[in-house]
Structures are given as structure tokens and as C-alpha cells.
Amino acid sequence: MSRSAFLSQTAPDCPASLIAQAATGPAPRVAIARAGAELPMVAAKDATEAGIMTPIFVGEADAIHAEAEKLNWDISAFALHNTEGEADSANTAAALCGADEADVLMKGHLHTDMFMKGVLTRDNGLRTTSRLVHVFHITPPGRDEPLLISDAAVNVTPDIKTRQACTQAVVDLARARGIERPKVAFLSATESAIPSVPSSMEAQELCNWAKSEIDGAEFSGPLAMDLILSQDAVATKGLTNDPVAGQADCIVVPDIVSGNAIFKSLVYMGGGCAGGVVMGAKVPVLLTSRADPPAARMASAALAAILTRN
């Protein structure tokens, strides 16, 4: 059997309701670091035409104009900052956000470490007292209800304090999306806190902390993945009184490996549309990947637009 048989052939689709919500207010100004390449320019054009982005192009001017010409896109009405190389573009785009001249920072054609260095450099004005955490917003084909996952992209082995920040971030994003009382699950491999599974003990600690520190949400953990998503598993294991089990809106994962595996399984096997945003900086940060399809890039831009109004 070909391993590709496990992969979904469904093309991801950005929910219309997500774009509609993002378009209800002014389109945010998005500083695109090193914009002069096909993928960031196509994403910018799509989001601009959808009314959820006002692009600010940062990078080599010749390359930006060349890509715009390929798309038959007149960008003369938009700001353009001519820079040379990755470091210059990352710092310039980040500094625009730090100076309140842009509302969102977006990664273009440059390495992630260089882009994030621009975010973290204090002189650029994006650092806050909050930890930086990444949240994925994943929707299955043909549905609007998201599943939020943190952190599957930035924090490799997050400590308890960082996972507390992840918990607050998923609650904040869920509320921004219109989920009035988010249901948050803390992932482990078991529904019981046992010392031989450290993530289960930490999940219980996080759950207790969240119940005492965050109002207006439901929390449960530890929970294994079947008990997070499956009502049948919940009924079989007798957790029917748990307010989160089988109906979670958000998952806080113990490490980047488990989060990344879940996210990619939902995308590549389930055909899900996964938008993502880094929270905790002065502005929302879009950490796009070369592998992201257009629907995912649109979803990410929409999330950032929504967050600028919350």
C-alpha cells in the first residue's frame, strides 16, 4: 500500500465566515518582511483584494515590482521600503510595527530565525512582558468551527510559565473568533495524572492553575487525544460529566513535537485549513511557511486582522 493513501486529497478551504469577520473593520497595515517573492506577493494580493490587508512592502524594490508585474497588480498606492538582504528587511519591517506605522508583521522570503530575530531585537519595539507563543487555528473541510492548538511552531520544550501563556493565548483567540466560553484541553497520553507520565502531572498542574486564574472558560486535563475529540471515546471511558472531553475548542500541548504532529495530521490527513499567528508581541506576527497553501495564508491574514481589533 502506498503511504500516500493516508493523505487527504481535499484542497484546504479558508472558511468564508473567517474572512467575513476579518473584513468587518478597517484593513490592518501589514509590514511584509522581504516581500519580493512569489508566495508573499500572491498572499498579499489575495488578502488585499479580500479587504483584510493593506500591505506595506519591505525588501528589494526591484524584486517587489517584478513580482507585482507578474501578477498584473498595481501597487503604486501602497508604501514600499527598499532594503537589502534578510536582516535589513526583518529589522525594518519590525521597526515599522514598533513605531505604530504598521499593525501586523508578516514573514516574506527570508529565514525564520532571521525574521524572529527582528521581532526579538528590543530596539525594534515589539517586545512586551508577555511570552511569544504560536497558535494554530484549524478548520476541517466545509466547516467553520475551529480547533486551536498551542504551541506547535515556536516554543520547543515550553516550561509551565510558557504553557500558561499558551493557555491564555488560545482563550483570547477563541474569544476573538466568537467562542464565548472556550473549552480548553491539556494534552497528555492519559486521562489520569501519573508520575510515570510527566506530561500528565504537568497537565493537571496547568488545569488547576487555569481554573483559578482564567475566568469565562472551561478546562480539563490531562486528556489523551481520543478524549479531546471523540464523544464515543468519552462515553466508553465514562467521562460524560467532563465539560471539555469530546468537545474541546483548544488544545495546549506539552511540546512542539506533539503539537506539530497533531497540526500536520489534521492538515495532511484531514484536509484542514490551518492559519497561524504568533501572539505576545506588540502586534500579531504571521510566521508563514513555504509549504502553506493559499487558503492557510489567507486564514493567517484573517486571524491577524481580527486580533488587531481585540
For β-strands 250-252 and 218-223, DSSP reports them as unpaired
Residue 105 lies in a domain: yes
2: pLDDT strictly greater than 60: no
**Per-residue pLDDT, 145:** 87
- What value does the mean pLDDT take over residues 194-219? 96
The pLDDT-based confidence of 4 (bands split at 50, 70, 90) is: low
**Domain match, 65 and 168 both:** no
- Residue-number span of the structural domain to which 263 is assigned: 132-278
Question: For residues 297 and 288, is the Cβ–Cβ distance under 8 A?
Answer: yes
Encoded amino acid at 114, one letter: M
Instruction: Compute how many other C-beta atoms are within 10 angstroms of the C-beta atom of residue 8.
Output: 14
Residue 85 lies in a domain: yes
| CATH code at position 140 | 3.40.718.10
First to last CA, the chain: 48
Residue 1 lies in a domain: no
6: pLDDT strictly greater than 90: no
- What value does the mean pLDDT take over residues 165-184? 97
| Burial profile 201-219: b = 16 or more Cβ within 10 angstroms, e = fewer | ebbbbbbeebeeebeebbb
Residue 175 lies in a domain: yes
The pLDDT-based confidence of 5 (bands split at 50, 70, 90) is: low
d(CA 138, CA 282): 24
Question: For residues 256 and 151, is the Cβ–Cβ distance under 8 A?
Answer: yes
Residue 227 lies in a domain: yes
State how many domains the chain has. 2
pLDDT tens-digit readout, 55-102: 999 999 999 999 999 999 999 999 999 999 999 999 999 999 999 999
Least confident piece of the model among 10-24, 109-123, 173-187, 201-215: 10-24
**Domain match, 265 and 290 both:** no
d(CA 61, CA 59): 6
**Domain match, 253 and 148 both:** yes
User: Which residue's entry shows cell 483559578?
Assistant: 212
Bridge partner residues of 274 (DSSP): 138
d(CA 238, CA 40): 48
Mean pLDDT of the chain: 93
Residue 25 lies in a domain: yes
**Per-residue pLDDT, 71:** 97
Percent of the chain with pLDDT over 90: 86
**Domain match, 102 and 229 both:** no
**Per-residue pLDDT, 67:** 97
Between the CA of residue 222 and those of 6, 102, 225, 285, 300, what are the distances in Å? 28, 40, 10, 30, 29
**Domain match, 145 and 171 both:** yes
pLDDT tens-digit readout, 224-270: 999 999 999 999 998 888 999 999 999 999 999 999 999 999 998 88
Q: Reduced to 3 states, what is the DSSP secondary structure of residue 310?
A: coil
**Domain match, 77 and 159 both:** no
Cell reading at 255:
511540546
pLDDT tens-digit readout, 254-266: 999 999 999 999 9
d(CA 171, CA 175): 6
| CATH code at position 297 | 3.40.50.10950
**Domain match, 223 and 248 both:** yes
**Domain match, 185 and 310 both:** no
Least confident piece of the model among 46-55, 185-194, 222-231, 291-300: 291-300
Encoded amino acid at 271, one letter: G
3: pLDDT strictly greater than 70: no
**Domain match, 122 and 176 both:** no
Q: Reduced to 3 states, what is the DSSP secondary structure of residue 219?
A: strand
**Domain match, 233 and 288 both:** no
**Domain match, 118 and 59 both:** yes
**Per-residue pLDDT, 1:** 42
Encoded amino acid at 296, one letter: A
Percent of the chain with pLDDT over 70: 98
Phi-psi group of 280: left, alpha or beta (phi > 0 → left; psi -120 to 50 → alpha; rest → beta):
left
Residue 3 lies in a domain: no
List for the chain the helix, strand, coil content (%; round to 5): 40, 15, 40
**Domain match, 43 and 107 both:** yes
Residue 33 lies in a domain: yes
